[in-house]
Structure 1
């Protein structure tokens, strides 16, 4: 029977709390409490998109053990990857987490959440439980063009800033590429952009087995939707039996128990621990959109099929995202051990972006998840990002 292994490794931020931490376990829904526990002020804001999704955004306005500041702090916005949430940027604790390090360096830090994850699983009209097909009918395009765009606008208006600095991991990078190429006017709102394994071009997708499975994307997705399987709410998507086999909570999708790819990925962070709440959840269509791009070796909009493409786009093929329209100051950080993004695709994107550079992480076995989960990410990545952001702010303050 066909499978949903299309979910494969694109579940890119299903994280467990790194070992060695002594803090209490906090659920995703307790992200603000977690931030306060670590000694920071935490605010929770709700941003309503034009199509009714209610997005939860977290703010860390000051450094550790500070409760006020008279100085206007430059703004940075952090966007998580697929299947993750805003807490992926605080997992490593006050000493090593990107969000905390930015706050301690004098920045006003905002953490976004995409529609459909546990923190943004709300809508003004749609019920995500009883109207699943309508609620979860979105891909990374809507997250970029609608969610990120409106969160950016909200943050700039709230802080009275003209620009902010953007950091996006994996799909958080994809969302930026979609937004800045589809709505080029947004480029003026970014003082700098750092993409951490930002997924875009897929000409050289590294995994042959996953590349092979991606050929079934449309069939898998259509069949899943017919069964009502539109939300990937891992790890509750599965439950484990007494014999350690994977049993699905929904009888109609017992065939999913055949899979090893997705279940093994999920159990890495969820097996017999309190870390299962690190999964943010997503729409299956997000993953299917990545699958289409891998299958077609391109970076383009959702493929409806020949006839519907002609009706929606005016052409039989979906339009590509034109990266030449992205004029923002972009740094693409990558690793040669990434199973989801090939170095050649990163360099091709940098070549097509008018104002971009590539930076390879100086550890050969640095992985896709290590960007937000590895303790040495601070010395290999975080310190560089913050230092470069501070330099940009210094130049902006002098008018250069």
Structure 2
């Protein structure tokens, strides 16, 4: 049964047979300080300044609910495209990676990378007026945001290494960092990549395939009409408000959104009650150039730097094609967690990534996990958090 038909069937069934009830998540709409404080967790706000002038907000959870002193092992958590640091607190209190690790002696740092609503600041450019602010892809996140955050965290904590946990684009930028700034390999005790997104040209997600084939047209049209940011700030806020209503309050729409979130196999990893919490924080904003860089990978099926076109590539790189990221430069202990039902990061792409990197651990999840389930699943404790924690414990000896 096609997804569109399932959506139609659910709507008709509710309209005929069931009343329109309303549900509400108890933590929906809470700012992160109130969200954490409600359950007895501390929060610190830090500003991280990058080499190219971006001012990034990092939210720190220095210890868990039942501790007073700062935890021993710093962890840098990096969200995906259009995401926000709060995603590591999904699917709610006591379940998300942030809560789970904070209660087990890990010092949690939730970085908000350039362009999301927590990090729309620059020493020179105004994100609402200056298109130069948005002239970045995830390459710049890996080359500038991550080194600045790592150095800041190690200085504050007086450590020589930290743990890294990235989801989706958070894994992409990890690969950029460790290949383009190889000196940072020595500052990572273990880099954990959830749904690692590098070789995604093998996916069969129709929309990505279609837009990927026409990415240059997409790029030209967006540039022509003056779009540089995905969902400008006020529109972004409106979308979050609308989605909280559509996907979270009226039960007929909850089931429709459930089908979409659990695409393609409807394994129902995401609890519908979580939707209202999710849309309190995402989408959070990103640049069009970030999306275009991913579309380039879909089209070429190669993990390469940004393609500016033959003439501009010659100026930037000294060659007509963008260079390939040299994954052999990665020397930090690295782990890949992937789901067999992920329509974006498919097992074929994971196999290619594994074949090109060394010093790795691989954790395969077969319980119907798709791309977002690593953070959103109602079963995240058993399927992700516990094996993640067990793996990280083996490397705590590297933290001094």
Normalised-by-shorter TM-score class: 0.7 to 0.9
Aligned to 1:313: 317
2:99 equivalent to 1:96: no
Deviation of residue 21 (structure 1)?
7.8
Alignment root-mean-square deviation, CA: 2.5
Aligned to 1:151: 149
Superposed CA deviations along residues 363-382 of structure 1, whole A, max 9, x for unmatched, are 0x211000000010110111
Aligned to 2:62: 61
C-alpha distance in structure 2 between counterparts of 1:320 and 1:239, whole Å: 39
Deviation of residue 74 (structure 1)?
1.1
2:307 equivalent to 1:303: yes
2:375 equivalent to 1:377: no
C-alpha distance in structure 1 between counterparts of 2:27 and 2:386, whole Å: 27
Aligned to 1:119: 118
**1:139-218, aligned counterparts within 5 Å?**
139-218=137-216
2:132 equivalent to 1:134: yes
C-alpha distance in structure 2 between counterparts of 1:92 and 1:169, whole Å: 14
Gaps of 5+ in 1: 1-18, 245-263
Task: Decide whether the 8 Å contact of 2:125 with 2:132 is kept in 1.
Answer: yes
C-alpha distance in structure 2 between counterparts of 1:334 and 1:302, whole Å: 25
Superposed CA deviations along residues 168-217 of structure 1, whole A, max 9, x for unmatched, are 00000000000100111110111001100010123412324421321111
Task: Provide the secondary structure at the position in 2 that maps to 1:94.
Answer: coil
Aligned to 1:255: none
Task: Decide whether the 8 Å contact of 1:206 with 1:341 is kept in 2.
Answer: no
Of residues 260, 283, 290, the one that matches 1:286 is 290
Aligned to 2:337: 333
Of residues 353, 361, 366, the one that matches 1:362 is 366
C-alpha distance in structure 1 between counterparts of 2:179 and 2:44, whole Å: 31
Task: Decide whether the 8 Å contact of 2:66 with 2:103 is kept in 1.
Answer: no
Aligned to 1:254: none
C-alpha distance in structure 1 between counterparts of 2:39 and 2:26, whole Å: 9
Gaps of 5+ in 2: 1-21, 244-259, 262-269
Task: Provide the secondary structure at the position in 1 that maps to 2:47.
Answer: strand
Deviation of residue 277 (structure 1)?
3.8
Superposed CA deviations along residues 314-365 of structure 1, whole A, max 9, x for unmatched, are 00000011111101111111111111111011121111112113211130x2
Of residues 225, 233, 237, the one that matches 2:223 is 225
Deviation of residue 125 (structure 1)?
1.3
Task: Decide whether the 8 Å contact of 2:84 with 2:112 is kept in 1.
Answer: yes
C-alpha distance in structure 1 between counterparts of 2:237 and 2:78, whole Å: 27
More moved, 118-127 vs 59-68: 59-68
Cα separation, partners in 2 of 1:21 and 1:326, compared to 1, 3 Å: farther
Task: Provide the secondary structure at the position in 2 that maps to 1:93.
Answer: coil
Task: Decide whether the 8 Å contact of 1:329 with 1:355 is kept in 2.
Answer: yes
Task: Provide the secondary structure at the position in 2 that maps to 1:95.
Answer: coil
Superposed CA deviations along residues 240-294 of structure 1, whole A, max 9, x for unmatched, are 9xxx9xxxxxxxxxxxxxxxxxxx88xx99xx96835422110011000000111
C-alpha distance in structure 2 between counterparts of 1:24 and 1:356, whole Å: 37
Deviation of residue 238 (structure 1)?
9.8
C-alpha distance in structure 1 between counterparts of 2:309 and 2:98, whole Å: 41
Aligned to 2:251: none
Give the paired residue count. Answer: 347
